Structure 1
Amino acid sequence: MKRLLVRSHPPLGHRPLRHRLRTAAAAATAAAALLLPVTLAQPAHAATTTCEPQGTIAAGDYTIQANEWNSTTQQCISYNGGTGWSIDTANFNLTTSGAPATYPSIFKGCHWGDCTPNSGLPIQISKLGSATSSWNTTQVGSGAYDVAYDLWINSTPTTTGQPDGTEIMIWLNSRGGVQPFGGKTGTSSAAGHSWDVWTGNQTSWKIVSYVLQGGGTSFSGLDVKALIDDAVSRGSVNAAHYLIDAEAGFEVWQGGQGLATNSFSFAASTGGGNPGGDTQAPSAPGGVTVAGTTASTASLSWSPSSDNVGVTGYDVYRGTQLAGSVTGTSFTDSGLAASTAYTYTVKARDAAGNVSAASAPVTATTAAGGGTNPPPAGGCTATYKVSNDWGSGFTADVTVTSGSSAIHGWKVGWTYGGSQRITNAWNATVTQSGASVSAVNAAYNGALGASASTSFGFQGTGSGAVPALTCTAS
């Protein structure tokens, strides 16, 4: 999408960003009519600013993220106290027939493994009892942008990469002729408002967008669950999947300066379909210990948590970053730097989506590097798929799959037959020399078990046929 401070994201590869094609509308800008205005007093607070493309600002139980992924134009966002923030510097100038330049937003939950405290998420859709939100915005009369929620739903309770379930967008307003992904497939009166409904399928997830008819500048007590239920009834959301993240911000193609969130809240809880109405969280895992380290791994173990119904799994955090999820009471974190200290905590979760408090932290220090790489094992294959192509540019995804044995790292290469140029990438370090491209795993997704897969993606200019790939494992 905590303490009141600015921190930089990990490198872009650690935080995959949405990459969707928008098309231009034939005509008019939606009216910026005021809908159910919210007036919340904000405490005085000195603004905290970040101009980093992937900078974040912690704001209590929320995180504000710059999330500039498709432009090099400077963008600066400022925290204004409470949950208020603004775009103070921006002058984007992209065509609305392509992807937006940026999506600065505020979020609660787990956004690609970066989790906010006290979010109540994840919650399985079938056990979602309520989800409500209020959002008050300041919108500007120039440029091309949308004002939209972005709810992410995944097939499992946690993920550090692209969610594979559904992306639900709720458009409060837009201007400049921008439209949601896909096509208009219906209308809805869910949550007491009138919506145009757009649907479409990306490479590995579905998108459904609810566009407020007439537009507005604020919601008060929006029944988000009613919209999620509507998406389930349309077949766009699987009720067995999990709501993991709720964001609200501005996708900007042109302009952007002056857009602001004055206040924002999001709250979700279990109930309704939750058997027995289980709202009791498991106990915090105890006895977390460092079982061993190498130059690139740290192994942890802990005592099992208890729960009134039953514990279904554990989430392991490296600092605030989700390192992985397991069903047992041990975990090995890989892809680490040698001679480096890492702090870990563990949380337990149950079938109702209740999450425990964090365990006491432990610190693991990796061993000094030995100067040699692990021996090759198993080999790998890679497949290339274009997810969007608008003639002058494209986005693509590459899936890397290990062979019959585990691997410690991978490298994928290919040669373009045309003039394609890669402009940015996520989940891998991608370099290009002429027509030749090389992609090397990120620190966190190089180690794969037997017959396991990971993926990376990128955006480029030009268009053309899918190239042949080579994959080398180490």
Structure 2
Amino acid sequence: MKRSLRAIAAAGLLAAGSLVAVALGGNASADTQICEQFGSTVIGNRYVVQNNRWGTTAQQCINVTSTGFSITRQDGSSPTNGAPVSYPSIFAGCHYTNCSPGTNMPIQVKSISSAPSSISYDYVSGAIYDAAYDIWLDPTPKKDGVNQMEIMIWFNRQGSIQPIGSPVGNTTLAGRSWEVWRGSNGQNNVISYLAPSPIQSMSFDVMEFINDTRNRGAITNDWYLTSIQAGFEPWQGGTGLAVNSFSQSVNTGGSTTPPTTTPPTSTPPSSPPPTTTPPPSGTACTVKYTPTSVWNNGFTADVVITNKGSGTINGWNLTYNLPSGQQVTNAWNATVTQSGSAISAKNVSFNGTLSPGASTSFGYQATLSGAYTSPTSFSLNGVTCTRI
């Protein structure tokens, strides 16, 4: 379900009338009640537990234990076609400048050898919610604000709610089957892994989900893992929901899997550079167009552009026509616009320069009516490219 930013908390917020107000960054040595809107505390000198009631003015309280938390009051209510009311959760890493003690996040994906994790939930009936495990990544070592990429693992879903975007296929990770959804909430891209039935506890390596996301072209190995969070998104009700235990480590040592796309060097802006430099005389280009997933009413595609000429390209615009019945809905690593069947894909800030022999890639999700076919001809800044 499309939703707003999860948290807009800042240190020093105090809620008048709270049952107990816990200062951000406090350390809970015994059961602690938090009713402050964005109140948080530290447990085990390792993890942060946050109330994070971002989507409602109604009261919410959590009881924090030495190993997790439970929701003891949740008065908010939101329609199921809108955003949830909150995301009470426990996390390791950095979230809106609030960093867990001793964390080595943000850390580049290529530096991580494994990220073992375990979670145990308690569920309730009669409420509408998801049990969500969030993995946040960004092109930069960002400790504040929203990140560019959110991976959600849906361990449980109750009620008529669904992940952001549309289903793009199925996969097997951590020895289990998952339905994969992909989309954007307007602030960041989201890939969700939806369990077909509730999972109450699980031990796994978070890197399996990060690597799958990378292989779909959504991130590269040069991106940074900033935080890993586990909790609940309630729409209606939720008292009694609990994270009984949570553990998370991020081990360094590096990954042997090469990145699938050219790594970014800075956070992309909301719009591409206004102009492009025509390819120098004698340049050529190739395009590799790959449908990464196709289903009955949609698909995702990955596009790799390579400068095969002798001169540097500064700013690019790839143009081509999509076959009938295909409509782009969201894109990543390029600004993609569509007029009828005509596509214009322009670089963003971090991938606009292509030296001789260099490649870059972008991708998108699209709706589909009828049988799938791929486009056949491409032009880069007005120069015809060879499709490979």
Q: TM-score range by the shorter chain?
A: 0.5 to 0.7
In the alignment, which of 168, 184, 201 is matched to residue 167 of structure 2? 184
Whether the 8 Å CA contact 1:128–1:274 is kept in 2: the answer is: no
2:94 maps to a residue whose letter is C
Match of 1:393 in 2: none
1:45-444 correspondence runs (5 A): 46-59=30-43, 60-81=45-66, 83-164=67-148, 166-220=149-203, 222-273=204-255
Whether the 8 Å CA contact 1:103–1:250 is kept in 2: the answer is: yes
**What's the CA shift string for 1:18-60, capped at 9, x where partnerless?**
xxxxxxxxxxxxxxxxxxxxxxxxxx96411111111112112
Whether the 8 Å CA contact 1:125–1:243 is kept in 2: the answer is: yes
How many percent identity over aligned positions? 42
Q: Helix, strand or coil for the counterpart of 1:230?
A: helix
2:77 maps to a residue whose letter is N
Whether the 8 Å CA contact 2:167–2:182 is kept in 1: the answer is: yes
Q: 1:142 to 1:101 in 2, by over 3 A?
A: same
Q: 1:159 to 1:121 in 2, by over 3 A?
A: closer
Measured in 2, the distance between the counterparts of 1:192 and 1:199 equals 21
Measured in 2, the distance between the counterparts of 1:201 and 1:136 equals 28
Whether the 8 Å CA contact 2:57–2:76 is kept in 1: the answer is: no
Whether the 8 Å CA contact 1:66–1:103 is kept in 2: the answer is: yes
**What's the CA shift string for 1:170-229, capped at 9, x where partnerless?**
111110121111111111102211000000124352110011122211112x12101110
1:49 maps to a residue whose letter is Q
Q: 1:176 to 1:202 in 2, by over 3 A?
A: closer
Whether the 8 Å CA contact 1:134–1:219 is kept in 2: the answer is: yes
2:190 maps to a residue whose letter is I
Whether the 8 Å CA contact 1:9–1:55 is kept in 2: the answer is: no
Measured in 2, the distance between the counterparts of 1:206 and 1:11 equals 30
C-alpha RMSD over aligned residues: 2.0
1:65 maps to a residue whose letter is Q
Gaps of at least 5 residues in structure 2 are 1-8, 14-27, 258-388
1:246 maps to a residue whose letter is I
Match of 1:372 in 2: none
Whether the 8 Å CA contact 1:70–1:100 is kept in 2: the answer is: yes
Whether the 8 Å CA contact 1:145–1:174 is kept in 2: the answer is: yes
TM-score by length of 2: 0.58
Whether the 8 Å CA contact 1:145–1:176 is kept in 2: the answer is: yes
TM-score by length of 1: 0.47
Whether the 8 Å CA contact 1:120–1:269 is kept in 2: the answer is: no
Match of 1:312 in 2: none
Whether the 8 Å CA contact 1:108–1:116 is kept in 2: the answer is: yes
Q: Helix, strand or coil for the counterpart of 2:65?
A: strand
2:33 maps to a residue whose letter is T
Q: Helix, strand or coil for the counterpart of 2:213?
A: helix
Q: Helix, strand or coil for the counterpart of 2:136?
A: strand
**Matched residue pairs, number?**
234
**What's the CA shift string for 1:285-321, capped at 9, x where partnerless?**
xxxxxxxxxxxxxxxxxxxxxxxxxxxxxxxxxxxxx
Structure 1 residue 258, shift from structure 2 partner: 0.4
Whether the 8 Å CA contact 1:155–1:240 is kept in 2: the answer is: yes
Q: Helix, strand or coil for the counterpart of 1:92?
A: coil
Whether the 8 Å CA contact 2:61–2:73 is kept in 1: the answer is: yes
Whether the 8 Å CA contact 2:74–2:237 is kept in 1: the answer is: yes
**What's the CA shift string for 1:414-469, capped at 9, x where partnerless?**
xxxxxxxxxxxxxxxxxxxxxxxxxxxxxxxxxxxxxxxxxxxxxxxxxxxxxxxx
Measured in 1, the distance between the counterparts of 2:108 and 2:32 equals 35
Q: Helix, strand or coil for the counterpart of 1:256?
A: coil
Measured in 1, the distance between the counterparts of 2:111 and 2:30 equals 40
Q: Helix, strand or coil for the counterpart of 2:199?
A: coil
**What's the CA shift string for 1:88-113, capped at 9, x where partnerless?**
11133211100000100001001121
Q: Helix, strand or coil for the counterpart of 2:222?
A: coil
Whether the 8 Å CA contact 1:154–1:242 is kept in 2: the answer is: yes
Measured in 2, the distance between the counterparts of 1:232 and 1:197 equals 14
Measured in 2, the distance between the counterparts of 1:46 and 1:203 equals 39
Q: Helix, strand or coil for the counterpart of 1:189?
A: strand
Measured in 1, the distance between the counterparts of 2:236 and 2:187 equals 28
Structure 1 residue 273, shift from structure 2 partner: 2.5
**What's the CA shift string for 1:394-427, capped at 9, x where partnerless?**
xxxxxxxxxxxxxxxxxxxxxxxxxxxxxxxxxx
Whether the 8 Å CA contact 2:106–2:143 is kept in 1: the answer is: no
Match of 1:395 in 2: none
